[in-house]
Every structure is written in C-alpha cells, then in structure tokens.
Chain A
Amino acid sequence: MADFDPQVCEFEIKYTKDQLPVPVIHGIHLHSIYQPRKEAESFIAQNQGILAEKNIILFLGLGLGYHITAASAALTKLYGEQGYTIGVIEPNPLTLENYYRFCNQDNQNLRIFCAKDPDELYLRSDFVNFLALGPKIIPHPASFNLYQDYFKKFMAYKASDNLTAIEAVIHDQNLQAYFKKSEAANLAQFYQQLKTKNLQNLDYFVLAFAALTSSASEEATWATR
C-alpha cells in the first residue's frame, strides 16, 4: 500500500505531449501518460451501464479527475446538469492538493472525501450522508490498485454496535456524557435498562429514538410495555 505521508510519499507530476498533468505515485501513473482524457472517456464508456442505473456515483480514487470530468459529462447527458451527484474517495492528500492545483473548474455536483484511514470517513457526517443516498461504486483502476488495502478496508467496514464506539460519533457533549454514564455494552442493553427505570430528561429522547428506529414488532413492545 502506498504511503500518504507527504514526507515519504514519492509523488511527482509528469506531463503528456499536450502538457496535460499526470500524477505518478511510487512510480505508478494514475492516468495514461499519452492520452489521459481519452483513457478516461473510454473508462467511463465501459461503465455507462452503471451510470444509467443511478445518478449518484461514488468513485474510489480521484487522480487528477480526468475520469470525473468524463463521468460528469456522461451523467449530465443522462440526468441534466444538476440531476446527479458524484462522490470521490481519495486517500492521498497530495493527490487532492494537486487536483485543486490543476483543475480549475468547479463542479457543484462533486463531493471529494479525503481521509488517511477509511474508518475516519465513516465517522464523518458529510460522508455518511452521501453514503445514505446509496451511490453506485466505481473504482478508478489505477488508484484502486495503488491503494488496494485502503479500499478493501473501506468496502468491508461494519460499524460497531458497542456503546463506546457510538459515543465517539455523538457530537453533543451532554448527550455523550449521558451515554457514558451507562454501563450497558450496546444500545440494545441500554434500551432494556431504560425500560426498568423512571424516565427523566434525556431518557425521553432515547426512548423516542428507540421507538422511531425500531421495527414494527419492536414498536409494539415499546408501546405495550
């Protein structure tokens, strides 16, 4: 797996004959050194079926965004200028920095997520909000090969139901403190404990949350307790 540390990462920019920039990381070219645009267009053409299926796409790997530009064009044709959203996960901040350096065109439909560890991504609200839209995933081959471990870890992620892990995601300090007081191992246990105590303050909030998110049969249990 490539290193993301700017001090260690072997990162350079090479140029095609037409003076188009191509990032090279640890000797690996992220795009064709001859015709990066054409390569990107043909890559997107290969994935046309996926684009036609859904207007929300998540790319694994940004590079300098040639494939993103090609995908935007294809998606615009399919869904109109504002009818789609593209998300991109880019592990390497240096790549992102160079993307902004060379790409001067804003795309309002594009969200770029950059984190050194995929677990970090899942802690971020903006990212989970995007994932909640249920995007179709397309790996950018060169980036994917370069950061295979990263992306595999990303794909295999499963959130912990441990209460401590949940607390870590909670933003509000009072709410966090409220959960911390409990000795329950997970939310299910927490709910059980709640059922046996007299309700006060935040208990009502958690109870409302439990009922809101429970399945129909569980809902009945809440109500008929």
Chain B
Amino acid sequence: MGHSLIISCGTPSEIFALNALIASLKDKNPAQQITLLTYDDGQTAAHSLPGIDQVRVIEKQKIKNFARNTIFSSGHAINLFWQNLTPVIQQHWDEIYNFEADIVPAAIASMLTAKTKYGLQLNAEHNLSFSSNWALSDQFIYQGRHLLHRKDQIRLMANLATYAVPPAVFVDPENQALAREHFAALRHAPGHQDRRIVGISIHDLPSALPDEDLIKLLELILDDDTLLPVLLSSKNAMDLARLKAINQKFMNTIIAIQGHQAALAAAISELDILITGGDDRFFLTAKHGRVIYLTTQTDFYRHGGSREEDCIILARDKFSIELILTVLKHGRTELLTLAQDQADSHIDWASLYFPFTDEMGVYFQTAGTTPKASDFGLLIARYILGKLLHLPITLAPRIFQANPEALSAHIQQERLHILETTKTLLAALRSLLRLQDNTKMGQEFTMQLADILAYVDEQHLAALCCTIFKNQIENLPLGGKDDNIRQIETLLYQLRDHLQLALGVLRDLDDQLAQIKKDQYRQKAKEHLADVQG
C-alpha cells in the first residue's frame, strides 16, 4: 500500500479536474492511499472527490487574518499553519504531486519527504524549478511569481494527466479555444482510439460563451464515440434551462447538474438519465476510467433497475419514500436485496459519508462533517419505515450526539408537519362521515382527500405515511361504492395510526436527546470549571 499526496490549492474546478489522476492512481494500485492538500476554499470540492482517502486543509484565510491583524500574535498564525501541516509533515510519502505553480505549495512540497516528487519545488538556493519527471516540463520557463498563466496551468494539468494517467482533458469555459484545441489534439493524436475523456468540467456556463460555440463544444463531445462525456455544471437550473433552449438533443444525453433540486425536478422527466449531485456537492466522477451515471431513485426503478453497470442511485431525502413504493410494489425481500446490493456502491462513491451500514445498508457515521438535520431526517425516516413495515431497523443513538441541536430542530419541524397532516386527516374523516350520511357531500370529501395526497410530494415523515396511504388507495380492488368508502375509512384510520407511530418515535427521540444534552452540559461545566480553577 502506497501513500500519495496531491497538492492542489486552486479553485474548486481545478480540484475537480484531478479526477482523472486520482482514478488512474487508484486503478494502478487500488490499495493506494491518496491524500489531498488544499486551501480552505477548495475543501468542499476536495471532500467530494471519490478516491481521496484524506483531505488536509490549510486554513489560508484564517492564517492570514491572524498574521495581519495587530491584536493577534503572529504566533497564532504560525500555530495554525503548523497544526494544518503537521499530519502531512509527519507522513512519509511515496509520491507527491504538486499541481501548483506557487511558492507556498512549492516550499511545502520541498520540506516533505517522499520517494518521488512531481511538480514545482524550491531548492536550498531558493530557486523554483519543476521536477524533471514533470510532464512536458520543458515547455514551461520560470518567469517570476506568475510563473504560469491560467491557461498554461490548465494545459499543464491536462498534459500531466495525459502523461501520468489515462488521457484526460480539462476544459476551462473561460478559454473555449483552448478547450477545442485540446479536444482536437486528443482526437488526432496517434493512438487516440485508446484515449477517452473521462471528465469534462464546465462550471457555471458563462453568459459570454456564445450559444453556437457551446453547441459545437457539446457536439464535439457527444458525437465522438471515443469520448465519454460527462458534463458538470455547477450552477443550477439556469444552466439547464439554457442547455435545453440551445438544443433538445443534449437533454436526451447525459447532462449533469448539481444543486437546486426543486427547479430541476420539473426537468427530470425530460431526461433519459439525470445525473445530479445536490447540496452543492459534486458526486459525479469517473471510477476506474469508466463513467458512472448518477441517477435518481425513481428513474432507477422506472427503468427496471440498473441499465448501466456503473449506475449510482442518488438517494437523498426521498429515498425512504421511494423505498416504500418499491416495497409495496415488489415486496419486502426485494427491497432488502436492493438495499444491500445498491446502497454500498452509492454510499461508497456518491456521498461524503463513510459506508457504515445497518440492516438496510443505511449509513450512520459521518466523515469530517457534522451531520445535518436532513441526515437525521433520513435516519429517522428509515427507522419509522422499519416500524411501519416490521423491518428490523434500529437507530444508532451515537450519531445524535454529534449534533443534538440539528436533531432537536428537525424533530420540532417533523412534529409540526405531523400535526398539520393530522389536522387534514381529521377533516377528511369528518367529511367522510358526512358523506356516509349524505351522498351530496362527495365533493367536500374529495377535496380533503386531495389535500392528504398532496403531502406525498413533500419531504417529511408525514409525507412518508401519506405515500403509503396513496399507494394503498391506488391499489384498492374494484368494488361497490359503499365497499370503497368503508375501505378508505379503514385506510384513513391506518394513516392516523401511522402518524401516531411517527409522533411516538419523535417523543422517544426527544427523551433521548434531553438526556444527551444534560450529560453533555454537566460534563462541559465540570471541565470548564476545572480548567479555570486549575
């Protein structure tokens, strides 16, 4: 097992562009541990890159603040910088890749010990130079602080990727000509049939990029069988709308969009496959040189399971609700099999979390981030789902300790949703009673029923119960009117029971939470006092 360090302090898009290198390194040696060293503004991007085992961050802004503000001793800045770098300094590396053309990363790369170093380094005489193994390094001549212009950096990165790993191209939207040049070079280079573009990154489609150029660019990518297209666009539905307006063709191919899920939802049905991240994370990647499709759970099932070998299911908040539908449609055994078969790969590659699975392949442990309310939402939803379907799902209270406030806020919100749904449910029951007395009251009942069914589209526990209700109604056997009314009444009462069950779970969680908070406070007060008095 080797240890490689990649130093990349560039923009998030530059960090994403490391994808090919990482995939290739992993391909060559799957057991290889890869660490990425970056500045704080690249942290999110770095965490999202699959294949990275560890991310080390230099808290640049904070260090600068400490160093420049006169009320802080520079010692604090030094401490923080040292603290950031210590784990990197202590490690003996097999390979170090310095992707930067800047003195800070060069000095860092030079102070570290490694069997092989690639990229810019600083020697004892203060001279900056590229290592001789650096791809096509003779193209670059050191000319002062701004050693490389942006386009050269990108070219360098592309060249390195071509040299050290399976060919890859990094497209900078600000320099489309260069992008085209790269594509052309790739396509016409000897042995190009072996070359595949494994990651093309287009962030925030710039408004200055003319549509016709964009079309050419997309066609170039999409029409070439030797290229595996993956378009990443960081900014939301606006980009999608623009692409759509440009050419419907692209909508039926593979388009990756992250963020703004709600706006995207409207467009989902028009896509064959939607590749989406969400929550501002990039999930999409090339795994061992192949393209992985990241799709929604709904699309996945709609197409009868995985059509593609490398399909990833996007399983976020709606996951549980859709699982229920699957259970009701296909039976429980299949659900468990699906969860076991699919959840791991999803978790492994598409989320920021360690795969720590329970009976259903649910993850519990967070890696480097504090769990958010939505994470708890997922866990609780699964737990309640287990209760409703009598599945052996347990809650791991350990995770609640990581962020009791978020859990508390989440419980509060869920409770409000349940109360609101219960209110609607009671109104429906009332109108049903009136309908039984007087058949002219049918319209009122239908409206109340529609109100309940409308909750299905929301993302909370009550929606989960309503989804079951909806599915049961849809599967009601044909019968007489009275029969149907009786059955609906039974289902409504069942819905009430489900809502009560959900409330009960929230109550239990509240108790657990109160105990956790109490313990934490006592401990904290004790420690603080001991500290001050000591």
Q: What per-residue 1/0 map shows which CB atoms of B417-456 lie under 8 Å from chain A?
A: 0000000000000000000000000000000000000000
Q: Is the CB of B73 within 8 A of A212?
A: no
CB distance from A86 to the nearest CB of B (A): 14
Mark out the residues of chain B between 53 and 78 whose CB falls within 8 Å of any chain A CB in the assembled complex: 58, 60, 62-78
Q: Is the CB of B64 within 8 A of A213?
A: yes
Q: Is the CB of A205 within 8 A of B66?
A: no
Q: How far is the CA of A165 from the CA of B75 in the complex (A)?
A: 8
| Chain B binding surface, main DSSP class | helix
Q: Does A166 contact B (CB under 8 A)?
A: yes
**Closest 5 pairs between A and B when the two form their complex, measured CB to CB:** A169-B75, A106-B521, A223-B145, A204-B111, A213-B67
The residues of B with any CB-CB pair to A shorter than 8 Å are: 58, 60, 62-79, 81-82, 85-86, 89, 102-104, 107-108, 110-111, 122-126, 128, 144-145, 147, 404-406, 408-409, 517-518, 520-521, 524-525, 528-529, 532-533
Q: Is the CB of A220 within 8 A of B521?
A: no
CB distance from A196 to the nearest CB of B (A): 10
Q: Is the CB of A160 within 8 A of B128?
A: no
Q: Contacts A165-B73, A168-B75 known; A207 to B107 CB distance under 8 Å? A: yes
Q: How far is the CA of A45 from the CA of B368 in the complex (A)?
A: 39
Q: Contacts A170-B75, A204-B107, A222-B103 known; A82 to B409 CB distance under 8 Å? A: yes
Q: Is the CB of A224 within 8 A of B144?
A: yes
Q: Is the CB of B72 within 8 A of A122?
A: yes
Q: Is the CB of B75 within 8 A of A132?
A: no
| Residues of chain A lying within 8 A (CB to CB) of residue B79 | 125, 169-172
Q: Is the CB of A201 within 8 A of B75?
A: no
Q: Is the CB of A205 within 8 A of B144?
A: no
CB distance from B61 to the nearest CB of A (A): 9
Q: Contacts A81-B405, A211-B104 known; A100 to B529 CB distance under 8 Å? A: yes
Partner of B124, one of A82, A96, A199: A199
Q: Contacts A207-B103, A211-B103, A213-B64 known; A166 to B78 CB distance under 8 Å? A: yes
Q: Is the CB of A106 within 8 A of B524?
A: yes
Q: What per-residue 1/0 map shows which CB atoms of A84-96 lie under 8 Å from chain B?
A: 0000000001001
Return the chain A residue nearest B144 by Cβ. Answer: A224
Partner of B82, one of A114, A159, A172, A224: A172
Q: How far is the CA of A218 from the CA of B126 in the complex (A)?
A: 16
Partner of B63, one of A80, A131, A213: A213
Partner of B78, one of A158, A175, A199: A175
| Residues of chain A lying within 8 A (CB to CB) of residue B524 | 106
Q: Contacts A106-B520, A128-B66, A132-B62 known; A209 to B78 CB distance under 8 Å? A: yes
Q: Contacts A157-B71, A166-B75, A205-B82 known; A219 to B145 CB distance under 8 Å? A: yes
CB distance from A70 to the nearest CB of B (A): 20
Q: Is the CB of B78 within 8 A of A170?
A: yes
